[in-house]
Copies of this chain bind each other. A is one copy, B any other.
């Protein structure tokens, strides 16, 4: 999706919720929506500073929450402390494989797993709202 479209969509959403269009929110949107992997608040904060943008941690948390709620970014946690955020723009659904030796995060998908999951939920009288599927791995031959 084109940057302008994303920006326009964000502004539209802000207005529809009586939220104001501020420079901080626009800067955070632009940064958070970049395909830069699975960053925590600290890393995003740094990347913003590197771009010459200064916002408070509080505003960053608050704005990431708006972005998450409105489907611009995903929020995840691999159990190592802080929440991580990842763009959702032009990024289809996937799950995560985390190397416990290097920390590298690899994305994977499996239609088969997805459909088996659906069936399991359905067989129990439920439908899936969201799911977390993380494989903690280490290199073979080590």
Contact = CB atoms under 8 A, between A and B. Distances in A.
B126 A137 contact: yes
Nearest to A78: B132
A26 interface: no
B137 A127 contact: yes
A117 interface: yes
A137 B126 CA distance: 6
B124 A131 contact: no
A20 to B, nearest CB: 30
A117 to B, nearest CB: 6
A141 to B, nearest CB: 9
A97 B112 contact: no
Interface string A113-126: 10011001110111
A126 B101 CA distance: 11
A5 interface: no
A108 interface: yes
A27 to B, nearest CB: 28
Contact of A136 (B112, B125, B130, B140): B130
A132 B132 CA distance: 7
Contact of A100 (B100, B113, B129, B136): B129
Nearest to A141: B125
A134 B137 contact: no
Interface string A23-34: 000000000000
